A and B are shown apart, each in its own frame.
Chain A
Amino acid sequence: MIMKNNFLAKITELNSMEQQPTRFGYADALLELGTREKRVVVLDADLSKSTLTSRFAEKYPKRFFDIGIAEQNMLGMAGGLSLTGKIPFVTTYGVFLAGRAWDQIRTSICYADLNVKLAGAHGGLSVGPDGATHQALEEISIMRVLPNMKVIVPCDTRQARLATLAAAQMSGPVYIRLGREPIPVLTTQKTPFNVGKAQIMKPGRDVTIIACGLMVYLSLLAAQKLTKEGISCEVINLHTIKPIDRKALIASAKKTGAVITAEEHQLAGGMGSAVAEVLAQECPVPMEMVGVRDTFGESGQPWELMKKYHLMDGDIAKAVKRAVQRKK
């Protein structure tokens, strides 16, 4: 889907963009669901003040359950609640949700195909000073590999809200990745959101940049700068990594003949891998991947980390130039 002009905010340097963490959009959506959808219940594992499920808890105390620091049990209890017709939203940091409770998600949620929604906060390096233990860099891989699971990485707080509302409407397990840090608000009040439909944020001719989460903004910024150098980039927001929008990816790769992927995640098995799985089979073109290269993060300010681990717009631009070279 190509975005109309009024679907995208003006892209400028970071300090002049309106910014909000995606967990805000999640919290807003839960509040809306509180009134609209009585079956929604929310579970957290002692992080409600950070994940912001505390806002739902204040307004709907009878439908909020703090399970304590016991993620595996939280997943199981959410599964049990779903068996009684509830729509549980399970929330904690991505590392402890997708990682610590992976077998519970596999057997009790995905294999049984239960209607449980998972929101993994603190995704990516931009978590910052908490360091490597709290920076989820693997969830996209380990969630998308599970049958029945859907995986969504919203590009901003507005999209996080829409993704959360959409998840409540869908049946079966959904994983939504959220972030801690304020990130640019790219979409507008009018921007539509459809699960499984990639969004062409900016059309282009020479190369396609496919990104998710915060990296969509950085890709748009890179694309803007590259325009001045005569390289026309198409930028795709691949907010739904599973089910993946094969048609949109193939069409764009065919058109431009080169693809860059950008994600705040390990390269192994992540969004870029998912794209490569499609293109290698259907439309092989030169590909470059921007992401975390088989290393853990560390403590630091979010943007310091993004620079150190080569996840900035400049890194995307370099990858674009390498891909363009390889086309020739």
Chain B
Amino acid sequence: MTYKAGSGHPGGSLSSADIMAVLYFDIMRHDPKEPKWEKRDRFFLSKGHACPVLYAALAESGYFPKKHLATFRQLNSILQGHPHRLKTPGIEMSSGSLGQGLSIAAGTALGLKMDGNRSKIFCLMGDGELQEGQIWEAAMAAGHFKLNNLIGIVDYNNLQIDGPVEKVMGLAPLADKWRAFRWNVIEVDGHDISRIKSAFIKAGQSKTKPTVIIARTIKGKGISFMENQAGWHGKAPNKEEYEMAMQELNG
């Protein structure tokens, strides 16, 4: 997708690919034929730049034909450079300016609770994104309102554009921070499918608190020359790199 587009964000898409696969094909109740189904679980991509992985999951689920994936980031495409709810079937919310998704997810969780709707709300955040103050405003509110139907996921790949997260603006101790904001915390290997799945199941059983799954991941996962390289945050592969990458993924 990013190769065709000539731009985009492969690194953070690959680091969250396993999480997204578990969510869309194992955990979430959703119906691509009825994207507005009231009882669906909702997914919000707060780290909007990782939309290639979301578009792939939506296309694979059947929200729109896969041929659209080749139009990503192009003029008149339904697949914008960052998600837009008014253009793409299955996208719950527009995002791209970091730090805003958890508030939207918390508001949705609150609204659904008011209605007695038992759907779950998932929100995927980047680790660099947690440097935004609004995330912690939302975290405080979700703990305060006891939004146990809200499940946050941190794609903890430890890299952001300017370098390692700990070097740019440290987040540690991350689990303690969330606990201090009255959240359940589950730490998991973000590339271990069965552990991710059990983390989601456990998170879904929370009675009084929101839950955050801190998923330790590898930026650029699955493509040797992209793995753990900050440079692959927002850069598309060239032809040679693309072919190498596809070979490795299909290998």
Do the two shown chains form a genuine complex with each other? yes
- Which residues on A are within 8 Å of B, measured CB to CB? 41, 62-63, 65, 67-68, 70, 72-73, 75-86, 88, 103-104, 106-108, 111-113
Residues of A contacting B100 in the complex (Cβ-Cβ under 8 angstroms): 72, 76, 103-104, 107-108
How far, in whole Å, are A81 and B110 apart by their CA atoms in the complex?
A: 7
Is B28 among interface residues, defined by CB-CB distance under 8 A? no
| Chain B, residue nearest A75 (CB) | B103
| Chain B, residue nearest A62 (CB) | B114
- A80: which of B111, B117, B134 is its contact (CB, 8 Å)? B111
Instruction: Pick the interface stretch among B4-12, B89-97, B210-218, B235-243.
Output: B89-97
Please encode chain B, from 126 to 153, with 1 for each CB lying within 8 Å of some chain A CB and 0 for all others.
0000000110011011001100000000
How far, in whole Å, are A84 and B104 apart by their CA atoms in the complex?
A: 11
Please, how many residues of chain B have a CB less than 8 angstroms from a CB on the other chain?
A: 35
Is B58 among interface residues, defined by CB-CB distance under 8 A? no
- B110: which of A65, A85, A106, A111 is its contact (CB, 8 Å)? A65
- A83: which of B99, B101, B107, B134 is its contact (CB, 8 Å)? B107
Least CB distance, B91 to chain A, in whole angstroms: 10
Whether A112 contacts B111 by the Cβ 8 Å rule is: no
Q: A79-B93, A103-B97 are in contact. List 17 more A-B contacts (CB 8 A).
A: A72-B99, A72-B134, A73-B103, A73-B137, A73-B138, A73-B141, A76-B134, A77-B104, A77-B107, A79-B104, A82-B107, A83-B42, A83-B111, A84-B111, A84-B112, A103-B100, A112-B93
How far, in whole Å, are A41 and B115 apart by their CA atoms in the complex?
A: 13
| Chain A, residue nearest B132 (CB) | A72
Given known contacts A72-B103, A107-B94, A108-B103, is B137 in contact with A86 (CB within 8 Å)?
A: no
Is B108 among interface residues, defined by CB-CB distance under 8 A? yes
How far, in whole Å, are A112 and B138 apart by their CA atoms in the complex?
A: 19
Main SS of chain A's interface residues? Answer: helix
- B85: which of A67, A104, A112 is its contact (CB, 8 Å)? A112
Please encode chain B, from 73 to 93, with 1 for each CB lying within 8 Å of some chain A CB and 0 for all others.
000000000001110000011
How far, in whole Å, are A70 and B42 apart by their CA atoms in the complex?
A: 24
Whether B103 contacts A76 by the Cβ 8 Å rule is: yes
Whether A76 contacts B107 by the Cβ 8 Å rule is: yes
- B138: which of A77, A81, A82, A84 is its contact (CB, 8 Å)? A77
Whether A70 contacts B137 by the Cβ 8 Å rule is: yes
Residues of A contacting B93 in the complex (Cβ-Cβ under 8 angstroms): 79, 83, 108, 112
Residues of B contacting A67 in the complex (Cβ-Cβ under 8 angstroms): 141
- B94: which of A68, A75, A80, A112 is its contact (CB, 8 Å)? A112
Whether B86 contacts A78 by the Cβ 8 Å rule is: no
How far, in whole Å, are A94 and B95 apart by their CA atoms in the complex?
A: 24
Residues of B contacting A84 in the complex (Cβ-Cβ under 8 angstroms): 107-108, 111-112, 114-115, 117
Whether A70 contacts B96 by the Cβ 8 Å rule is: no
Least CB distance, A256 to chain B, in whole angstroms: 42
How far, in whole Å, are A108 and B94 apart by their CA atoms in the complex?
A: 7
How far, in whole Å, are A84 and B97 apart by their CA atoms in the complex?
A: 22
Is B14 among interface residues, defined by CB-CB distance under 8 A? no
